[in-house]
Chain A
Amino acid sequence: MVNERLWNILIDSFGKIIVPGLTMTIPLTVISFALALVIAVAAALVQFADVRGFKQAARFYIWVIRGTPLLVQLFVIFYGLPNLGVVIDPFPAAVIVFSINEGAYCAETIRAALESVPAGQLEAGYCSGMSYMQTMRRIVLPQAMRTAFPPLSNSLIAMVKDTSLAANITVTEMFMVTQRIVARTYEPLALYIEVGLIYLLFSTVLTKLQRAGERRLNVHGKQGG
């Protein structure tokens, strides 16, 4: 089944697919996830601290984003906004949608992690003379991020794969490049499996990094003792 021609296609396409993987998929993931974390921490903190107005805004944002498909969100921003005269290039459009989308999910993860920090940590901060903000920043948030690390890693890995949806708004990431090669060579089975394996490779690296990260974090800072 795997003849010489197919081998040559696979070997030739590996380079062609992995390059946009390194120059598009990974930057898209890293930039979007970093922005998502900023959004998520903010959306989680205003809920945790019960900041009036902001809390409701955060709930609304999470409700809308989690309740609509990522693909629809991509289309609204990239194909829809031009109707209002707002034209955004494919890559920044993808970054905007992925960070806002991921931010909603991560906000829930971080909120849950904040709530898992015992109330006594805040009280101990107060009794050491620290303010709410000081205690949150130096005591509660670092502990919450430690708890949130595994589920956030999970989200990151999911996001690497979700970036393939950006092909739909003309971002030339790995999946779009694969589609083009398929159109030229008519070898969909082999090539889609190949790109799938490359995603698997990326995810595996991230999983290893997660393990290493968890080992570092888990050495100390666990509750009680």
Chain B
Amino acid sequence: MLEIMDIQKSFDGTQVLAGVDVQVNRGDVVAILGPSGSGKTTLLRCMNFLETADAGTMVFDGERFELGRISKKDIARLRKKTAFVFQNYNLFYNKTAIENVTEGLIVARKVSKARAVETGRRALDKVGLSDRYDYYPSQLSGGQQQRVAIARALAAEPEIIYFDEPTSALDPELTGEVLSVMRQLADEGMTMLIVTHEMGFAGTVSNKAVFMEKGKVVEAGDSKTFFERPRETRTKEFLHTISQSINLAG
């Protein structure tokens, strides 16, 4: 369904993505892992054109796009097929939960208000916020805000949702409620591309894993093999360090 080939990106001469390939099939849950500064977030942002890649090719639903010189029209079209969940939620501060969810439907997709509200309520119900429709972001906890953000993503009925470290800004006790919503989506067959540090979650929910370092993919494959029998030494080191730090923290 979605394929990225040889994507490249530099910031002020520093290469952040040095030719990365990613393949996503419908229904895949792909976990992108790696240490800080490995380019995971930049990869995600380039895929939704929040950053413009220097070079690379994207194939989406059989259509081919050159990422270095894609037109604004194509960007707008592709964005309507995708949704993005940010690390710091980025809810619209001047809108209530339900308005956050319906805004894009009404303004960008020209859905009637009544229908948008109906869709929005269903999305908020799904993430367990049926009692928070009219709350402003400032009245919600971080976990609730992130669930509104997920509802906002869902309501657009995207073909794929990109998650950029969706739980990194949350207190540990709020992480669970967001992860369980994501787990539910995965079970329902939603296609998701998730940049995360939650190894336990990645290991149990994703069916594919990609390990990145220094702007390159070190290892990619199905999650079971990746987590149980990683091929590359660097991957083993990384998984080992992470599990150790979890043990220490625990």
**Given A139-B94, A225-B145, A128 contacting B156 (CB threshold 8 A):** yes
Q: Does residue B211 face the partner (Cβ distance < 8 Å to A)?
A: no
Q: With CB as the reference atom, state the residue of chain A lying closest to B80.
A: A129
In the complex, how many angstroms separate the beta carbon of B76 from the nearest chain A beta carbon?
Answer: 7
**14 pairs of residues in contact across A and B, judged by CB atoms under 8 Å:** A118-B90, A120-B86, A121-B92, A124-B90, A128-B152, A129-B79, A129-B156, A130-B103, A139-B92, A139-B103, A220-B139, A221-B136, A223-B138, A225-B140
Q: Does residue B91 face the partner (Cβ distance < 8 Å to A)?
A: yes
Q: Which of B48-82 contact A (CB under 8 A)?
A: 48-50, 76, 79-80, 82
Chain A residues lying within 8 Å of B30, measured Cβ to Cβ, are: none
Assembled-state Cα–Cα distance A121/B109 (Å): 18
Binding site for B on A (CB under 8 A): 118, 120-121, 123-131, 134, 138-139, 142-143, 146, 220-225
Chain A residues lying within 8 Å of B80, measured Cβ to Cβ, are: 129
Whether A126 lies near B138 (C-beta < 8 A) is: no
Whether B50 lies near A126 (C-beta < 8 A) is: yes
Q: Does residue B84 face the partner (Cβ distance < 8 Å to A)?
A: yes
**Given A139-B92, A225-B138, A127 contacting B103 (CB threshold 8 A):** no
B83-109: CB near A (< 8 Å → 1, else 0) gives: 110101011111100000001100111
Whether A123 lies near B103 (C-beta < 8 A) is: no
Chain A residues lying within 8 Å of B107, measured Cβ to Cβ, are: 128, 130, 134, 138
- Interchain residue pairs A-B with the least CB separation, the first 3: A128-B104, A129-B108, A127-B84
Chain B residues lying within 8 Å of A123, measured Cβ to Cβ, are: 50, 84, 86, 90
Chain B residues lying within 8 Å of A129, measured Cβ to Cβ, are: 76, 79-80, 104, 108-109, 156
Assembled-state Cα–Cα distance A220/B108 (Å): 24
Please pick, from A125, A131, A138, A225, the residue contacting B137 in the complex, using a CB distance under 8 A: A225
Q: With CB as the reference atom, state the residue of chain A lying closest to B85.
A: A127
Whether B152 lies near A220 (C-beta < 8 A) is: no
Whether A223 lies near B93 (C-beta < 8 A) is: yes
**Given A126-B79, A128-B108, A128-B152, A146 contacting B94 (CB threshold 8 A):** yes
**Given A221-B138, A225-B137, A225-B138, A124 contacting B91 (CB threshold 8 A):** yes
Bin chain B's interface residue count.
20 to 34
Whether A222 lies near B138 (C-beta < 8 A) is: yes
Chain A residues lying within 8 Å of B139, measured Cβ to Cβ, are: 220, 225
Chain B residues lying within 8 Å of A128, measured Cβ to Cβ, are: 83, 103-104, 107-108, 152, 156
In the complex, how many angstroms separate the beta carbon of A72 from the nearest chain B beta carbon?
Answer: 40
Chain A residues lying within 8 Å of B50, measured Cβ to Cβ, are: 123, 126-127
Q: With CB as the reference atom, state the residue of chain A lying closest to B139.
A: A225
Whether B94 lies near A221 (C-beta < 8 A) is: yes
Chain B residues lying within 8 Å of A146, measured Cβ to Cβ, are: 94
Whether A143 lies near B94 (C-beta < 8 A) is: yes
In the complex, how many angstroms separate the beta carbon of A130 from the nearest chain B beta carbon?
Answer: 5
Chain A residues lying within 8 Å of B108, measured Cβ to Cβ, are: 128-131, 134
Extra inter-chain contacts (10) besides given A125-B92, A223-B93, CB under 8 Å: A121-B90, A124-B91, A124-B92, A128-B156, A129-B80, A134-B107, A134-B108, A139-B95, A222-B93, A225-B137
Assembled-state Cα–Cα distance A221/B91 (Å): 11
Assembled-state Cα–Cα distance A129/B90 (Å): 14
Assembled-state Cα–Cα distance A142/B140 (Å): 20
Assembled-state Cα–Cα distance A76/B244 (Å): 76
Q: Which of B191-224 contact A (CB under 8 A)?
A: none
Assembled-state Cα–Cα distance A89/B152 (Å): 55
Assembled-state Cα–Cα distance A222/B137 (Å): 8
Chain B residues lying within 8 Å of A130, measured Cβ to Cβ, are: 103-104, 107-108
In the complex, how many angstroms separate the beta carbon of A58 from the nearest chain B beta carbon?
Answer: 24
Assembled-state Cα–Cα distance A225/B137 (Å): 7
Assembled-state Cα–Cα distance A138/B94 (Å): 9
Q: With CB as the reference atom, state the residue of chain B lying closest to A134.
A: B107
Q: Which of B108-138 contact A (CB under 8 A)?
A: 108-109, 136-138
Assembled-state Cα–Cα distance A5/B80 (Å): 78
Most buried by A among B84, B86, B91, B93: B93
Q: With CB as the reference atom, state the residue of chain B lying closest to A221.
A: B94
